[in-house]
């Protein structure tokens, strides 16, 4: 099956936390979740980045969202535990967690990579997602149908020169997805998958490829349905897998590494 049209109430009654919701793919995913009935918890570095999308969701008549600002560079275990406690206190549950926040860092050879940049990128792209997930797992385990989606990248599945800490962190995310899926096997209602959005018109893409025409790529809204598929009940039972997004209303395609000749 390639065509996918989610039901209007696909996520009705569900509470979904989206990191990096202030812009790009995170914003598109948060809006799509709200449009399909979810109560969305919006995360980004500061409340100012979230106020506009908050207002958009309310104006559309979707369930009222919440804002939980947290700078992932400062995402200590205690800060992430406090975030999860706030979710539990305010909502009493969590049914979905989508990791969309990302830091590109520098495109440079590993031998020349600046250690400060390396540590910043690994913190935002790998360590913070682990800490947030770890803190939220007790809530997710209580859900009758929960899903965690890590936004990954093709450079985390097949190495490419000069992608530095960003590529290494994406490889780490893929390993974390597989490990979580194995360890959470006793919780069949909780699934964990990765999704490579592909080339999309985002600020991060423009920073990585400043010379290309962004209009040759889909908008974040065009690939949001892939996230909805993995978040909603239609993907029940699918866990520990790596997917790639497809533009338009289509289910994501499972990534299969090409065999070496």
Catalytic residues: 166
User: CB of 241 within 8 A of CB of 193?
Assistant: yes
- Cα separations (Å) of 97 from 44, 52, 58, 213, 257? 14, 21, 21, 32, 26
Which of 2, 182, 17, 7 lies closest to 101 in space, CA to CA?
A: 17
What is the side-by-side strand order in the sheet with 190-196? 66-67, 39-42, 15-19, 96-99, 146-151, 190-196, 242-244, 253-254
Beta bridge partners of 253: 244
Beta bridge partners of 95: none
């Amino acid at each position: 099956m390639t065509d996918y049209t989610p039901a209007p109430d696909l996520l009705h009654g569900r509470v979904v936390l989206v990191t990096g919701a202030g812009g790009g793919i995170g914003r598109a995913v948060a809006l799509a979740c709200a449009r399909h009935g979810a109560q969305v918890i919006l995360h980004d570095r500061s409340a100012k980045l979230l106020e506009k999308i908050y207002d958009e969701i309310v104006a559309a008549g979707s369930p009222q969202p919440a804002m939980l600002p947290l700078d992932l560079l400062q995402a200590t275990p205690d800060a992430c535990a406090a975030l999860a406690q706030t979710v539990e206190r305010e909502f009493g549950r969590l049914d979905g967690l989508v990791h969309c926040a990302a830091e590109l860092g520098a495109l440079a050879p590993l031998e020349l990579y600046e250690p400060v940049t390396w540590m910043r990128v690994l913190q935002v792209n790998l360590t913070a997602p682990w800490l947030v997930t770890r803190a939220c797992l007790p809530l997710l385990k209580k859900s009758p149908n929960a899903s965690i989606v890590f936004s990954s990248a093709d450079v985390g599945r097949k190495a490419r020169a000069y992608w530095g800490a960003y590529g290494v962190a994406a490889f780490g995310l893929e390993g974390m997805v597989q490990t979580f899926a194995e360890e959470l096997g006793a919780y069949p209602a909780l699934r964990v998958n990765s999704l490579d959005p592909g080339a999309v018109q985002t600020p991060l893409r423009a920073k990585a490829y400043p010379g290309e025409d962004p209009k040759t790529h889909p908008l974040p809204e065009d690939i949001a349905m892939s996230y909805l598929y993995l978040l909603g009940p239609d993907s029940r039972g699918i866990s520990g897998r790596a997917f790639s997004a497809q533009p338009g209303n289509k289910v994501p395609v499972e990534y299969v590494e090409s065999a070496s000749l």
